[in-house]
């Protein structure tokens, strides 16, 4: 991290609550309650002031129970559909950056399309929201697919660089043993991390980390690269302490120390 980037993340001693970043997380479903909580907690541990989760009413109480620091709102039904878009947009308007997709599972494409077309701020789009985002050619967005989720990009555009050329201010953080960050500046590789990071939930952490960095003032490509390095550093630290049994929660706990090390 260069000095200018570090300066953006350093807190002003005269700042007030909310002035160091607010991250909205839209995700979860009756199938997955943990993912949005992991993303939101990762955002907090990466330095933003506040997070707000919008999730299914079927699991909102469960999500709320994961941490006292979480603010949780809900939409009706087990999965995101048109009835929940208004609640999502209320949180989006509050946020400095928006994370969409962790644990979403079976979202209604029309509802997601309405959300993407109505929100103009910076986003991180993950998991089951990626397909709709690619089809809508979203702008001002970091997509965080793994290899299988990236297949829709290759099917529709031929390659990730071609997709980048046809979108506006879009970054793709392709997750793998070596993370690759594609932007209009080229490709950056982050060859770090630990095999324990194949554990479930690490992608949710990464989405929250990147969203937090954006909310604090980094541009999309900076946030994607530094987020990948930070997540990898936390993974290495957790594995060094706990071995192959390290979980996403263990990696989450290492994020503040990893951020200090960068």
Nearest C-alpha neighbor of 92 from the set 155, 60, 140: 140
Q: Walk along the chain (262 residues) and give the pLDDT tens digit of each residue.
A: 888 888 888 887 778 888 999 999 999 999 999 999 999 999 999 999 999 999 999 999 999 999 999 999 999 999 999 999 999 999 999 999 999 999 999 899 999 999 999 999 999 999 999 999 999 999 999 999 999 999 999 999 999 999 999 999 999 999 999 999 999 999 999 999 999 899 999 999 999 999 999 999 999 999 999 999 999 999 999 999 999 999 999 999 999 999 999 8
- The strand pairing partners of 172, in sequence order, are 143, 182
What DSSP character marks residue 167? Answer: S
CA within 13 Å, CB half, 258: 27
User: How is the chain split into domains, by residue range?
Assistant: 19-261
Q: What is the pLDDT of residues 213-249, one digit of tens each?
A: 999 999 999 999 999 999 999 999 999 999 999 999 9
Q: State the fold for domain 19-261.
A: 3.40.1190
User: CA quadruple 86, 77, 50, 130: dihedral positive or negative?
Assistant: negative
């Amino acid at each position: 991290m260069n000095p200018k980037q570090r300066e953006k993340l350093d807190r002003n001693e005269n700042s007030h609550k909310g002035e160091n970043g607010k991250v909205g997380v839209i995700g979860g479903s009756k199938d997955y309650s943990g993912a949005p909580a992991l993303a939101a907690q990762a955002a907090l541990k990466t330095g933003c002031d506040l997070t707000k989760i919008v999730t299914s009413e079927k699991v909102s109480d469960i999500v709320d129970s994961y941490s006292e620091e979480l603010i949780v709102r809900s939409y009706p039904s087990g999965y995101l559909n048109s009835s929940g878009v208004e609640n999502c947009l209320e949180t989006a308007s509050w946020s400095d950056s928006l994370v969409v997709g962790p644990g979403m599972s079976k979202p209604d494409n029309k509802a997601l399309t309405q959300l993407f077309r109505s929100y103009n701020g910076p986003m991180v789009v993950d998991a089951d929201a990626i397909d709709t985002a690619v089809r809508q050619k979203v702008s001002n967005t970091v997509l965080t697919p793994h290899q299988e989720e990236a297949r829709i990009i290759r099917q529709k555009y031929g390659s990730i660089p071609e997709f980048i050329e046809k979108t506006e201010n879009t970054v793709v953080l392709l997750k793998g043993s070596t993370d690759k960050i594609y932007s209009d500046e080229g490709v950056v590789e982050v060859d770090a991390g630990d095999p324990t990071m194949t554990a479930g939930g690490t992608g949710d952490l990464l989405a929250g980390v990147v969203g937090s960095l954006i909310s604090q003032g980094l541009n999309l490509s900076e946030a994607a690269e530094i987020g990948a390095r930070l997540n990898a550093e936390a993974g290495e630290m957790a594995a060094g302490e706990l071995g192959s049994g390290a979980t996403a929660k263990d990696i989450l706990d290492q994020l503040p120390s990893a951020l200090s090390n960068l």
